[in-house]
Amino acid sequence: MVDVIQTLQDLCGTWTLIINQSSDIGRFVTLSLDISLEDGQLQIEENWGNRKWRRTLRLPINGEACTRPVKDRVFPSNIYTAISYIPGEEIVYRGAWSDTGGLEISERFEAVGSQGTYPMEISHTYRLSPTGAGLIYTAARSSRQGHEIRHTFRRKGVGEAWMMPMVNDWALDGGLPEQAGIISLQGIVNRHEPRLYLVYPPEWDFKFTPHVLDYLKEDRFMAFTELDGIDSAIEQFREDIKGYIVWDQNVRTSLIVSFTLAGLTDAIVIAEDLIPLAEKYGLALIHDFRGQFEGQLDFEIYTWAYEQYWEQCSRDYIVWMGGQHGNVMMPGVADWGIYNKAFFTDLSTRPEDTEEYDMARSLLSKQNKYSFVFGWHSYKKDKEEQHVTLTSQYALRVEGLHTLPNMSFSCQIPLTPGFTFRNNHNIQADETIVPKEKVYIACIQTDCLGIGGWTEPGRGDIPYAWEVTMNWVWLAPAMMEFFYKQATSNDYFVGALSGPGYMYPRSVPPEDLPPLIEKARELMQILDLKVFEVMEYTDGGFYTGSPDLPRSIVDAYYDGMPEAIGFVNGYTPAYTFTVRDRRPLISYDYYLSPTQTEADAAADLEELAVINRKRPYFLLMHVRNFSDIKRVQRVLNRLGPQFELVPLDTFLKMAGETPTFAERYRGDTQGG
């Protein structure tokens, strides 16, 4: 009985109807429930159509039957159907707690239709969602077999937030000033609870923001009120904003410095044209950067920012606000940096840029070991390989990109209680698969879950593997749950990339590699991942450098990840191969470029099958994220019957049992 009372107490509160997830209720449009428990009596007050019609039900929780007189004829759930109650008659109710964990109320009465009365029984059920934020109500009528009425409610005051659509204009002299202000505002107002979510346009790198929003509404029962611009956003969150910072539109780097100051002062960043708006709401000026940095080099600007702000900034997070350059900036990750009081920069990590490079080294050396570098390198100043090489030298973990959105919001939405990550494994540990005399292909998409084909047509049609950004398990737990729940039986998840975050193992200090691999192993265990991907470009040059691994580093991964069924290596083609205890490490033999024609791509694969004559031949293909699965299918459909696409874990199992590749490490005379 105690458990029943506790669960009934959990049902108590005010619940509002989610209209687009509920059966139609006609002209009433809306419905709310007020559920309370007092002195052994459960009370459910229904408010139809904003008080157009109301009724209250009271019944004992001990399962005894009770009666209530009918006061009027209204049959509210179907007002367009000629069914009515009979005023003056009685309704008999009985409440019970079901075996499935919901409240069941049976209702028996005489209904009337055009031909007379009908003895009707309705079974009402009320069941909480796993998070407790939603209530699912169903009504099964004896006169309506096989088609129940269903209403979904959210708990009033819980999971209420705001959202705002962004536009595809990130020019300094265009849409950036307002959108940078909105993103800075997001980092401030989300500091203590998730309140503002931004929906980015279809052209954005991470394409999932509208899909995750739908998930939060439908699965988490969150309510979002749309804001239509920075004016309405400031009005809504005025009490959270401590002031404003003016950046100089003639000095792009002043915006990056402004993001640092915003995190330290809870002030929004705005350009000159928005000063009247800030003054309209009585915001105080924190700093005006107009004219301050005119004619200065980035190194000089960041030196000033370092002297002013560094000591107040986080040692666990630093943000490289790189990516696009010139008249464009796409600062999607700025909310996260502001939320964490991070130092922002886009210093060059190109050794030839001596001043900026030395300063970048100095900043990274002062961060806590194994901490995070968010954002991305500047496409103008340096290369990805140079950036990750330098961060890895200090045992730091890169989490890209500069466009990574909504992390200040997503980090605060937990997993559904009881949710466990389950990958779509195709083999058993003790299973033996005998390959045929064929060319086996496995496909892995590049660049994490949220970029590329996940939201595009074709996902689920063929076996396909996806690189998982493993830190999302704590950085955006509900978002990671969203991907796992969306996965089909053909979607297989792979741990990436080189560690618990993006790094190059050859650049990591040798004493730090085992602890980092252990952190990656822990994330893999949580996420039910059995395959791990390594990428190594310390030498630079995705196409001209050596992507291969020395034996000592391969040893470290095998020793540190005993549960892994196999490893993959590279980005474009690489040449490291081995197998140990039937667990292979296989490098990519093919990179499907987005610019390669489908006919030429198929010809490339056929040529590899000619060069690699032994059968079975295991051909691992890395698919650039700009290719959706339909395109991959069209390429594979051009191949002959000797080719077979298989799931990645099946591929690795067969390759481990019947290896036909030559063992090779970095430094060997052939290949890499």
Residue with the larger pLDDT of the pair 670 and 371:
371
Query: Over the stretch 438-464, which tens digit does the pLDDT of each residue have?
Result: 999 999 999 888 787 898 889 999 999
Q: Over 50: is that where the pLDDT of 384 sits?
A: yes
* Of 59-63, 376-380, 554-558, 597-601, minimum mean pLDDT range: 59-63
Sign, CA torsion 586/591/597/598? positive
Q: Are 298 and 356 in contact (CB under 8 A)?
A: yes
- C-alpha separations of 642 from 120, 197, 605, 638, 654 in Å: 65, 49, 12, 12, 16
Q: Is the bond preceding 616 in cis, omega lying within 30 degrees of 0?
A: yes
Average pLDDT, the chain: 95
Sign, CA torsion 168/169/170/176? negative
Query: Over the stretch 483-525, which tens digit does the pLDDT of each residue have?
Result: 999 999 999 999 999 999 999 999 999 999 999 999 999 999 9
DSSP E strands in 260-306: the ranges are 267-270, 285-288
Structural element, H or E, at residue 464: strand 464-469
pLDDT band at 322 (very low <50, low <70, confident <90, very high): very high
**Domains within the chain, CATH numbers bracketed:** 2-155 (2.40.128.20), 160-410 (no CATH), 439-657 (3.20.20.490)
Whole-prediction pTM value? 0.92
Alpha helices, DSSP H only, in 72-208?
176-189
Q: Over 80: is that where the pLDDT of 672 sits?
A: no
Q: Over 80: is that where the pLDDT of 541 sits?
A: no
DSSP 77-107: GGTTSS-B--TT-EEEEEEEE-TTS-EEEEE
What value does the mean pLDDT take over residues 129-147? 91
Task: Report the pLDDT value the prediction gives residue 323, as an integer from 0 to 100.
Answer: 98
Comparing CA positions, the residue from 32, 417, 21, 51 lying closest to residue 222 is 21
